[in-house]
Amino acid sequence: MSTNDLESLLRDLKPAPPSARLFQKVDEELSLDMSWLGRPSLTRKAAKWFTPVTFSVLGAAAAVAVMSWFAFSQPAQPGAATADGALPVSTISEWQDFQNEGILYSQDKTPQRQIRLIGTERRIFIDPRDGAQIIVETPKEESVVLPVNFQ
């Protein structure tokens, strides 16, 4: 039997008609599903916790709205602004290089490794009057002493 013969045989097959028992089962299931249509509309009971939670959420939202309004309506703190009126936004430290300065001995004769870290510190300010962003980068150098353990 070749593939073409098999395909033609399958194409000629017709599905069997559904039985009367299947129709009867489907009708029973549909009537069970539709039984709720004949009843009067159900009154839905809200959970007992729902009303107090709703009022709590509304109170919290009102508090947030009032606090945000006060935050924007009051002038900035005098100590927070810089001399030109810009407000600090963020400070970022970046290390570009390190130099190993070798092992040194402290006053109590314990070995310590001295490392010099070289980098920049970026401070970002914003001027509230016009929204201008000011970025100030300053070089940064730190000397770090780490204990050494010889084994």
Give percent of the chain above pLDDT 90.
Answer: 3
Contacts of 105 (CB under 8 A, 6+ apart): 111, 112
Q: Say what the pLDDT of residue 78 is.
A: 45
Rounded Cα distance, 41 and 47, in Å: 19
Q: Say what the pLDDT of residue 95 is.
A: 84
Going from N- to C-terminal start, the domains of the chain cover 47-76, 87-147
* Token couple for 114: 């001295």
Positions in the chain short of pLDDT 70 = 33-46, 69-84, 150-151
Closest CA to 117 of 145, 148, 147: 145
- Identify the helix (H) or strand (E) that includes residue 97: strand 87-105
